[in-house]
Chains A and B, each alone.
Chain A
Amino acid sequence: MNFDFSDDQKFLRDEARKFLEAQCTSADVRAVLDDDAMSHNDEVWQKIVEMGWLGAAIPEEFGGLGLGMLELCVIAEELGRVLAPVPFGSSAYFFAEAIKLAGTEEQKAEFLPKVADGNIVGCLATTEGPGALTASSVQTVAKDGTLSGTKVPVTDGDIATHAAVLAKEGSGAGIYIVALDQDGVSRKALKTIEPTRSHAEIKFDGASATRLGDETGNGMTVLDQVMNRGAVLLAFEQLGGASRCLEMATEYAKERHAFGRPIGGNQAIKHKLADIYVKNEVARSNAYYGAWALSTDAAELPEAAAAARVAASEAFWFASKENIQTHGGMGFTWEVDCHLYYRRAKLLAVQAGSPAVWKEKLVSALEAKNAA
Chain B
Amino acid sequence: MDFTDTQEEAAFRAEANAFLSQHLQPKKGAASRSGNYLQRAKDWQKIKAENRFAQITWPKEIGGRGGSPMQQVIWNQEESKFDAPTGPFAIGLGMCVPTVIAFGSDEHKQRYVQKALFGEEIWCQLFSEPAAGSDVAGLKTKAVQDGDDWVINGQKVWTSGAHYSDYGILLVRTDPDVPKHKGLTMFIVDMKQEGVDVRPIHQASGGSEFNEVYFTDVRIPDSDRLGEPGMGWKVALVTLMNERLAVGGSPGPDWAEIMDYARSSGSMSDAAFRAKLADWYVAAQGYKLTKFRTQTALSKGETPGPENSIGKVITANHLQDICNSAIEMQDHYGIISDKDHAPADAIFQESFLWAPGLRIAGGTDEILKNIIAERVLGLPQDVRVDKDKPFSAF
Contact = CB atoms under 8 A, between A and B. Distances in A.
B275 A359 contact: yes
A288 B313 contact: no
A1 B379 CA distance: 33
Nearest to A364: B274
Interface in A1-33: 1-6
A370 B259 contact: yes
Contacts of A356: 275
A365 to B, nearest CB: 10
Contact of B293 (A4, A267, A274, A366): A4
Contacts of A104: none
A358 B281 CA distance: 12
Given A1-B5, A3-B296, A273-B373, A267 B282 contact: no
B2 interface: yes
B185 to A, nearest CB: 31
A250 B373 CA distance: 9
Nearest to A246: B377
B369 A285 contact: no
Contact of B374 (A270, A296, A370): A270
B279 interface: yes
A303 B377 CA distance: 31
A150 interface: no
B299 A1 contact: yes
B1 A363 contact: no
B285 A271 contact: no
B67 to A, nearest CB: 16
B279 A282 contact: no
Contact of B376 (A261, A277, A286): A277
Interface residues of B, number: 49
A283 to B, nearest CB: 7
Interface string B250-285: 000000000100010000100000110111011101
A205 interface: no
A262 interface: yes
Contacts of B370: 267, 270-271, 274
A281 B307 contact: yes
A265 interface: yes
B393 interface: no
Given A356-B275, A363-B277, A265 B377 contact: no
B147 interface: no
Given A271-B373, A282-B310, A363-B278, A288 B293 contact: yes
B372 interface: yes
Interface string B1-27: 111110001000000000000000000
B299 A285 contact: no
Given A270-B369, A274-B372, A1 B286 contact: no
Interface string B363-380: 000101110111011111
Given A292-B2, A311-B282, A362-B281, A282 B314 contact: yes
A360 B274 contact: yes
Given A1-B292, A288-B293, A359-B274, A270 B379 contact: yes
Contacts of B287: 282, 285
Contact of B380 (A4, A262, A277, A284): A262
Nearest to B314: A278
Interface in A273-309: 273-275, 277-278, 281-286, 288-289, 291-292, 295-296, 303, 306-307
Contacts of B277: 363, 366
Q: Specify which of B293, B300, B374, B379 lies most central, judged by the most chain A CB atoms within 10 Å of its CB.
A: B379
Contact of B372 (A262, A278, A314, A367): A278
Given A270-B379, A295-B1, A366-B259, A1 B296 contact: yes
B1 A5 contact: yes
Interface in B79-93: none
Interface in A163-214: none
Contacts of A273: 373, 377, 379
| Chain B contact residues: helix, strand, loop or mixed | helix
A103 to B, nearest CB: 27
A310 B278 contact: yes
A282 B290 contact: yes
Nearest to A278: B310
A314 to B, nearest CB: 8
Contacts of A79: none
Contacts of A5: 1
B307 A250 contact: no
Contacts of A47: none
Interface string B168-204: 0000000000000000000000000000000000000
B296 A2 contact: yes
A253 interface: yes
A111 to B, nearest CB: 29
Contacts of B288: 285
Contacts of A363: 268, 274, 277-278, 281
A6 B287 CA distance: 22
B286 A281 contact: yes
A281 B370 CA distance: 17
A303 B379 CA distance: 36
A232 interface: no
Contacts of B380: 254, 261-262, 264-265
A342 B383 CA distance: 32
Nearest to A298: B3
A359 B378 CA distance: 34
B36 interface: no
B307 A70 contact: no
B379 A264 contact: yes
B285 A307 contact: yes
A93 to B, nearest CB: 19
A278 B309 CA distance: 9
Contacts of A285: 285-290, 292-293
6 contacts: A3-B2, A5-B1, A282-B290, A285-B292, A310-B278, A311-B286
Given A3-B1, A359-B274, 19 more contacts: A1-B292, A3-B293, A262-B380, A264-B379, A274-B368, A274-B369, A278-B313, A281-B290, A281-B310, A285-B287, A285-B292, A286-B286, A288-B293, A303-B281, A307-B282, A307-B285, A314-B282, A359-B278, A363-B268
